[in-house]
């Protein structure tokens, strides 16, 4: 079809986990991919980056951008109790995960994505946000993305049309997995474990949510685990 | 007055230039200051940082946060013509100013500020944005800040009340200077020159706008210049 020859670009925010993998599958049905990844000092940063690069290769991304930020760690470290602490230089070597929740985190990530999207001429930004995961995280809710789309309209050139797409926003984990199976998503390339970089632990929050999803979907997770408890 | 004993915190975004100086003066009338500065690889980064630190000391900021980002340079480098270029690692040593305008830049800066404000419990974020400067920069307009305030409402905890304040948004440069004189703003500590870090050049865009403002206000700019053309 000639449509394939004139495919437009879409930015896909990809952590390297299964949600972003399925999101990339969905986006790639209609768009060439411009894939964006953020290193923010997460414990399994190197493994996630490998997953991102593997996914970018799999989806034949035409362009990728890997950004580094110490913002979340810096903000996470400055809490109300540290009000008198003068925060100065970052310790870029620290691999510790931020101890505290970072408010408005997705606004930061989306702002970066919009800057990039306008620069490269992409009209869509895909993010694998899931409202179900949003307990206590106001910037994971559908209404937040609707409002953000309004902000983009007034904050970019009149000729610019950029819209954030959240295809998974109302789905459960097992539905995301079923969607991924349907689209032949390369789950074997993804990484979700917060703890290990070699073999997924199977017991951290992220592994547990993922494994339960696969078990509920009745599908075997293709990545190796140290242990696979029954989460049903 | 007892009001002074119970002053609330406000975040002030401060580049170290004269607009952020006057903005800090305005904010300090009602609030204790939490001052936020961003190093983004600008040519006079070190001199601006010194101005920021001098202002923070002058205003007796209770807390300050200095963030580093390579986002603007990275985004600025990836233009439509470089679509096939795979952008990988940052060159953190480069001091070059981004060659291209970075769209949605203020959304990035404000998002950082909101994350910090919610973390430290500040209820206001002051930014010295001026709509007059906004030619071609949609994210400098009043409507952008109004929309951003709506985004904050849906993107932060229900108990959180953070509002962005733009006290200079409708002012001309000379009005900002008059306001600063009225409030005893420490203009002698500020830095605006894009070119030099020792003595302001007097001829770059930023020096020209500043000097013209002082000349229009009929006030002598207290910082030294290599040359001071008549801009009236």
pLDDT tens string B138-178: 888 999 999 999 999 999 988 889 999 999 999 999 999 99
Would you list the DSSP string of A180-193?
Answer: HHHTT--GGG----
Provide the pLDDT for residue A136. Answer: 59
Per-residue pLDDT at A195: 85
Which distant-in-sequence residues (6+ apart) come within 8 Å of B165 by Cβ? B10, B27, B124, B125, B126, B127
Helix (H) or strand (E) holding A65: strand A63-68
| Other residues' Cβ atoms within 10 Å of the Cβ of residue B51 | 25
What is the reported pLDDT for B78? 41
B19, containing H or E segment:
helix B18-28
> Between chain A and chain B, how many beta carbons pairs sit less than 8 Å apart?
182
Residues of chain A with pLDDT under 50: 1-5, 78-100
Please indicate whether, in this complex, the C-beta atoms of B104 and A111 are within 8 angstroms of each other.
yes
Which residue from B64, B118, B151 is facing A148, i.e. has the nearest CB?
B151
Name, in order, each residue with C-beta under 8 angstroms of B32's C-beta and a sequence gap of 6 or more: B7, B8, B9, B10, B62
CA atoms within 13 A on the CB side of B124: 19
3-state secondary structure of B166: coil
pLDDT number for residue A128:
96
**Main-chain dihedrals φ then ψ at residue A183, nearest 5 degrees:** -95, 5
How many CB atoms are closer than 10 A to CB A125? Answer: 27
- pTM value > 0.95: no
**Which pair of tokens denotes residue B97?**
């100013």
Would you state the pLDDT for residue A73? 79
Contact A115 B108 (CB under 8 A): yes
Query: To 5 degrees, how large is the angle CA A81–CA A85–CA A89?
Result: 130
pLDDT of residue A133: 67
Query: Which pLDDT value is given to residue B130?
Result: 92
Instruction: For residue B101, name the pLDDT band (cuts at 50, 70, 90).
Output: low
Q: A34: which 2 tokens?
A: 């411009």
Q: Which residues of B touch A100 (CB under 8 A)?
A: 119
Sign for the CA dihedral angle at B148, B54, B61, A68 comes to: positive
CB contact under 8 A, A157 and B138: yes
Contacts of A105 in chain B (CB under 8 A): 115
Backbone φ and ψ for A82, nearest 5 degrees, come out as -105, 25
Question: Which residues in chain B are contacts of A147 at CB distance < 8 A?
Answer: 147, 150-151, 154-155
Cβ-nearest to B148 among A72, A141, A151: A151
């Amino acid at each position: 079809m000639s449509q394939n020859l004139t495919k437009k670009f879409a930015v896909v925010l990809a952590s390297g986990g299964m949600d972003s993998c399925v999101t990339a599958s969905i986006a790639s049905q209609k768009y060439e991919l411009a894939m964006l990844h953020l290193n923010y000092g997460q414990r399994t940063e190197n493994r996630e980056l490998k997953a991102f690069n593997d996914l970018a290769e799999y989806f034949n991304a035409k362009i990728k951008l890997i950004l580094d930020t110490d913002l979340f760690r810096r903000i996470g470290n400055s809490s109300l109790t540290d009000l008198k602490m003068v925060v100065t230089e970052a310790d870029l070597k620290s691999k510790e995960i931020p101890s505290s929740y970072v408010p408005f985190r997705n606004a930061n990530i989306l702002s970066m994505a919009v800057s990039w999207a306008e620069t490269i001429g992409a009209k869509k930004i895909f993010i694998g946000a899931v409202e179900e995961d949003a307990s206590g995280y106001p910037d994971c809710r559908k209404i937040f993305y609707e409002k953000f789309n309004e902000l983009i309209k007034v904050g970019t050139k009149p000729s610019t049309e950029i819209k954030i797409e959240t295809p998974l926003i109302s789905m459960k984990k097992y539905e995301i997995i079923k969607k991924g199976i349907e689209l032949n998503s390369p789950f074997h390339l993804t990484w979700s474990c917060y703890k290990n970089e070699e073999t997924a632990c199977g017991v951290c929050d992220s592994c547990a949510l993922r494994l339960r999803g696969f078990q509920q979907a009745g599908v075997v997770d293709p990545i190796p685990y140290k242990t696979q408890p029954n989460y049903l």
